[in-house]
Chains A and B, each alone.
Chain A
Amino acid sequence: MRWLIRTLSKRLFRGRKNQSRDARAANQTGDGNLFRAPRKNQVLSPDLETNLKAIKAIFDKCSDVIYREFVFAQNEQIRLALIYIDGLADKGQVSEQIMRALALEVPMVVPGQEITKARALEFIKQRGLCMHQVKETDKLQDVIHAILSGDTVLLVDGHTCAIINGARGWEARSITDPVAEPTVRGPRESFVETLRTNTALIRRRIKSPGLKIETLRLGEVTNTDVAIAYVEGIVNDKLVEEVKSRLERIKVDAVLETGYIEELIEDNPWSPFPTVNHTEKPDRVAAMLLEGRVAILVDGTPFVLTVPTLFVEYLQASEDYYERFLFASAVRLIRFVSMILSLTLPSLYIAAISFHHELFPTPLLLSIAAQREAVPFPVFIEVLIMELSFEILREAGVRLPRPIGQAVSIVGALVIGEASVRAGLIAAATVIVVALTGIASFTFFYSFSIAFRLLRFTLMVLSAALGLLGLISGLAVITIHLCSLRSFGVPYLSPMIPTTGVDLKDVVLRSPWWGMFTRPRLIARQDQKRQEQGLKPTPPKNPRP
């Protein structure tokens, strides 16, 4: 099986691989370049004109790059130039804090100590700029990257150093409610597309210097900023190393979403089950970090990856931890049951109707038989048609423009449900089964329910062929597969299998907060203790009014 897949994938992807190899070769020889990249370690020249020329050559035909040349107010001999990208730099800051300060307002100067060309850079840095984030560099590459990142670069004539001003500011979506993970109780903030805002959202929840945020850059064309966040002292150091090494292995042209990274770092690429979790809720990420996980943030997407990922994570909503534990456990139990239903219900129905009538109590069997009397299809075809139309409806519901949504849902409900039953094409029981399956798959995480949607169809085929035995064999293979999965070294089914007793407190049931003394044992190798024991509230014996 595996070799088949391997050879197939080799055949399929060979063309693409060769192509990229050719592209790389072309890049090395210098012809067919995507852009004129500066040579590595190329330094700036003391001459302003030369530098500007070099930068302009690099940003050839980039109409959004703005060059502003002016002279220093203190000494008109000193020429300055500002370079930034229109739309990425905060124009207000650039004109107020940089332009105005340098070109108009003359700071106090001790008489006799006029600003010469030689002292200009130091003076500007110390007293000329009203910026809080200022960096110096003499490398052309850094200058280019700073401009592209939205910083404003100030070149001073006669100096091989450029000043990078952190005056970023662009149009960004503001923080809103999470779309994919709505909650009734709990924080309503969700991540946005800006990396800095996202790290700040995490930092605001974990006010500890232990929260480390390391950054690196991925994507040879997009140069996307990627951040790895973890809590030192809780996280397993080897895990951080592993995450870093897997990230550094990535050599792609673009990283536009965390999904790109997810597919390149996951443990089992052929598995239908995701072994890297993602979320758009900062409180969830904070909770994950505090359990010893590592988060991977990517600039440009509100979805944050967390590793290692366990099977149970997909059944744990962040709300479970904010509601009182009895209710949270009950709800989680429902989610667990719906997970099983969404996987097996249609195939169980098929198996029972076509092979094992004895599964139904007699009255129910009679009523189903009566319904199916006029149905022209075998039950497998019937369920397959309904499942497929449900999938089509669901996909349409995601893709279609909002105003049409109503129309589609009406058509869906009427045509698929009511009309097909009336016409005698589909039994009412089948509609109930398919609808229940569909609804059940919405109770847990979307990315996880995708796996179940795929497997559901496989199981349907199996049970149509072999009845209950087919269903059981399918489930057994799925179970074996789940047992063999690992996510960054942690068994996917843990803490259930292999069983770690204390961690079962947060699987199907959620123990109360005063019962959660330890962090997950297989994830957080250090600092197991989460909190003090004996926190269970006991009201005083003689309550005073």
Chain B
Amino acid sequence: MLEKGKIDSNQAVMLMVSLVLPTAILFVPAIIVKHARQDAWLAAIVALLGGLLIARLVVSLSLRFPEKTLFEYAQTILGKVPGKLVGLLYIWWFLYTGALIMDEFASFLCTAIMPETPPVVLFLVGIAVAAYAVRNGLEVLSRYNQLLLPILLGLLVITFLLVTKDMKAERLLPVFDQSAPAILKGAAVPLSWLGEIVLFAMIIPFLQKPREAHRVAALATLFTGLFFAICTVVTLSVFGPNLAAHWVFPVYNTVRVVSIANFLERLDIIIVAVWVFGGFAKMGVFYYAAVLGSAQWLGLKDYRPLVAPVGLLLIGLALLCDNIVDLLDFAARAWPPYALIVFEVGMPLFLMIVALVRGKGESNA
């Protein structure tokens, strides 16, 4: 085993929430609102249902091979060479998504608080912190996340409560105004984010109780999806569909609205701070998956030598993206079908079918 640590189910749930949430609440509400307008929260719930299905699929597949990660059982199912190919694809995907996450964070930070800082500095800082976490292993990464995620979510919920005086329920009306295809189109983006739960296949072997994996994945998806829906409802009821679709970071703008007694304002900077903590966690998970996966793919005994090179690769990939417009367009249009169809649904489904046909793995899961 490359990883000696074990994490308990609570930590796994939190890790899987952090896997999706920190960048998703930055970008996704605006994209859904663009497609589904005031029915965006409906789209979020549709996405949640889809996310539950993906989680179910991935966990069922993994539980047929409870001791193995995605990279190891792909080879068991497909044979050595095709399995390695699938592994290579997933390494690419983890790397690319990791770079995308860094880009999202860097562009957010550049837009929100540090307009003059070159992105590469932000990448370097982010990778340095995440690399330290990854080097320390899964256990430490999930403990760090367990400490900070509740603070992140707590502060978000508090600020949502503080903006209640600016919310107007009629901005959500009329309900079901949009056509079903528009809602489904809006649901595709959050679904592609929720589908990142595929990465859980790398974590399941390190659960203290792998049998609880179904519960863990379902809980994490449910929580993330509902939080999505709440975020969209809050932004919609504060700004209405037109304005909400116009903002790049609607939730961030919602926080800026808070002004209590002319003293409790400018809370945005606190939220930014907490988001950055979350971003380290999210980046850390993908970084970890990429490093662990590469080590398994290469058949190494220890994944630590790969931490630095993979980090450099992540920085290099992140530098490919030029600006926030480019990034937004990619995240809204190119990434969802690519991630969703190939890596989040297509490949697990394919592996599952082949495993069933060839009778690989334990069927009792």
Residues of A participating in the B interface, judged by any CB pair closer than 8 Å: 355-356, 358-359, 361, 466-470, 472-473, 475-477, 479-481, 483-484, 491, 493, 496-499
* B129 and A469 within 8 A (CB): no
A-chain residues with CB within 8 Å of residue B243 when the two chains form the complex: none
* B147 and A497 within 8 A (CB): yes
B-chain residues with CB within 8 Å of residue A468 when the two chains form the complex: 113, 269, 272-273
B-chain residues with CB within 8 Å of residue A467 when the two chains form the complex: 113-114
A1 to chain B, nearest CB (A): 9
* B269 and A469 within 8 A (CB): no
* In-complex Cβ contact of B277 among A356, A476, A483, A493 (8 A): A476
B171 contacts A by Cβ under 8 Å:
no
A64–B146 Cα gap in the complex (Å)?
Answer: 62
* A361 and B140 within 8 A (CB): no
Known: A468-B113, A480-B140. A473 touches B146 (CB 8 A): no
* B113 and A483 within 8 A (CB): no
* In-complex Cβ contact of B269 among A358, A466, A491 (8 A): A358
B276 contacts A by Cβ under 8 Å:
yes
* A473 and B125 within 8 A (CB): yes
B11 contacts A by Cβ under 8 Å:
yes
Chain B stretch 253-312: residues in CB contact (< 8 A) with chain A: 262-263, 265-266, 269, 272-273, 276-277, 280
* In-complex Cβ contact of B114 among A355, A480, A491, A499 (8 A): A355
* B129 and A480 within 8 A (CB): yes
A361–B269 Cα gap in the complex (Å)?
Answer: 13
B11 to chain A, nearest CB (A): 7
Chain B stretch 138-155: residues in CB contact (< 8 A) with chain A: 140-141, 143-144, 146-148
* A498 and B276 within 8 A (CB): no
A481–B129 Cα gap in the complex (Å)?
Answer: 11
A484–B284 Cα gap in the complex (Å)?
Answer: 15
B-chain residues with CB within 8 Å of residue A480 when the two chains form the complex: 129, 132-133, 136, 140-141, 144
A33–B144 Cα gap in the complex (Å)?
Answer: 53
* A483 and B136 within 8 A (CB): yes
* In-complex Cβ contact of A359 among B109, B137, B269 (8 A): B269
Closest B residue to A474 using CB positions: B129
Q: Number of B interface residues, CB 8 Å? A: 34
Chain B stretch 1-37: residues in CB contact (< 8 A) with chain A: 8, 10-11
Chain B stretch 116-135: residues in CB contact (< 8 A) with chain A: 117, 121-122, 125-126, 128-129, 132-133
Known: A472-B277, A497-B143. A484 touches B136 (CB 8 A): yes
Residues of B participating in the A interface, judged by any CB pair closer than 8 Å: 8, 10-11, 109, 113-114, 117, 121-122, 125-126, 128-129, 132-133, 136-137, 140-141, 143-144, 146-148, 262-263, 265-266, 269, 272-273, 276-277, 280
Known: A493-B147, A498-B146. A359 touches B266 (CB 8 A): yes
Known: A355-B114, A477-B132. A484 touches B140 (CB 8 A): yes
B-chain residues with CB within 8 Å of residue A496 when the two chains form the complex: 147
Q: Which 5 A-B pairs have the closest CB atoms?
A: A483-B143, A484-B140, A484-B136, A497-B143, A483-B140
Contacts A/B (CB < 8 Å), 9 sampled: A355-B113, A355-B114, A359-B269, A361-B263, A468-B272, A468-B273, A469-B109, A498-B8, A498-B11
* A466 and B121 within 8 A (CB): yes
B-chain residues with CB within 8 Å of residue A481 when the two chains form the complex: 132
A131 to chain B, nearest CB (A): 57
A492–B262 Cα gap in the complex (Å)?
Answer: 41
* A499 and B10 within 8 A (CB): yes
B74 to chain A, nearest CB (A): 31
Interface-centre pick from B11, B113, B144, B269 (highest chain A CB count, 10 A): B144
A475–B263 Cα gap in the complex (Å)?
Answer: 27
Known: A355-B114, A498-B8. A473 touches B144 (CB 8 A): no
B-chain residues with CB within 8 Å of residue A466 when the two chains form the complex: 117, 121, 125
A516 to chain B, nearest CB (A): 23
Closest A residue to B133 using CB positions: A480
Closest B residue to A501 using CB positions: B10
B-chain residues with CB within 8 Å of residue A472 when the two chains form the complex: 273, 276-277
A-chain residues with CB within 8 Å of residue B137 when the two chains form the complex: 484
B75 to chain A, nearest CB (A): 32
* A499 and B136 within 8 A (CB): no
Given contacts A472-B276, A477-B129, A497-B147, 4 further A-B contacts (CB under 8 A): A358-B269, A359-B266, A479-B147, A479-B148
